Chains A and B, each alone.
Chain A
Amino acid sequence: MNTLSAKSLFSGKAVKYLSVGYITVRNNFVYLRSFFIRSWFLLVILFIFVQLWRVTYQGEGNEVIEGYTYEQMIWYLIFAEAIILSSPRLPVKIEEEVKKGDVGYQLTRPMSYLLYHYFSYLGEAYVRLIVNIILGSALGLVLFGWPRLGLGLFGFLIVSIGSFTVNYLMTMMLSLTSFWVEETRGLVFVYQKMLFIIGGLMLPLEIFPGYLQAISEWLPFQTVAYFAAKAGVHFEWMMIAKMLLIQLLWIAILSFLLRVVYQKGVRKLNVNGG
């Protein structure tokens, strides 16, 4: 089985999957306008947070809260929201494929199902990310002028690859439970809320009480929005290296688990549409 293994990723077959990514990017450019429209939601959320944080910073009377200035806090939220809102809606797609039995037909091609979806996920995610970053940055520029983030955008983009990968692995795993349960949305809903809270979408993890921070550090959720957003506002080579390492670790663990779930699931394939 050629699933998510380093061997197939870096062999000549890489071209195959890069083409999958490339065609998804092209396909998603068609949706560019609707992405822009949908992304206005990002501005609405951000607008609310801007108000909340302004009051908070004024009330505290401090320039810096847990290491973030007001400006950095807003940029943190812009980056974090951009990652979450750019993540494709995989569960709907997979649930449909499993229920209709399309998974089977995909298997008649010399291609790994999981890698195919991974690259197609990345393709879509980055088209959306461009849109979200453009809109978010426009807001940042209006509020604070030219951002003082140093290499932040670079850090954000580097870490975002790991963020999307972890998010893909987790979401795919949850989506594949549709082999066993009729409805996966509940699980996905809980997972997304975990990303929102202990994944650091609403607040940087530094703001949490000590014990919650300690728990979050041992969970994969922080590697999605929190890592990328923090890399965007606090660029530091050492920190980025550490983040990438932790992401890699989670990617290794999660790909292994995903492979187990997938292989068990495919054996159940027969029932649907046999």
Chain B
Amino acid sequence: MKKDQELIQDFQNGNEEAFNELVRRYLDLVHGFFQKLTNDEMEAEDLAQTVFIKLFKSLKKFRFESEFNTYLYRVNANTANTYFKRNKWRNILHLDQMVEPSFDDNQQDREWKKEELWSAISRLPKKQRSVVMMRISEMLPFKDIGNILDMSEGTAKVNFHHGIKRIKVLLGIIE
């Protein structure tokens, strides 16, 4: 099995099938990320498509200065941020209509909570949002998150802490 780097080199030499192989390899990861984020199958597929189209354009100039994984997560985070920006007002309006939130599994429907949770995440500042997204959906270590988002491990931790605190406030869990 070829390594990612070899596939990218093949793709840069004009082999489009190498790109398709990369798509097969990483589709579950990308699609899963957006599936969690949007809670909508179609929207997740559209966003995954956006990510791979961006990759198709940018991989031709990829200089192997970072791991492909890191690069892919960065593209994911940017695409997610664009998505949140696009839906900002919709989410804000939706949050305003919230009923009393609760994190007790017996009281609330899981789907409903998921939607509220992402609405709250979408209202975070960009850095906090990116860190929280990567931590809760991909369960990445803070060190990797720092690498992906060009910040130190400590900064990633601080951003996560502030982000979670803000989500709790937005969901009404703490004042």
Q: State whether these chains interact.
A: no
Residues of B within 8 A of A (CB): none
Question: Residues of A at under 8 Å CB distance from B?
Answer: none
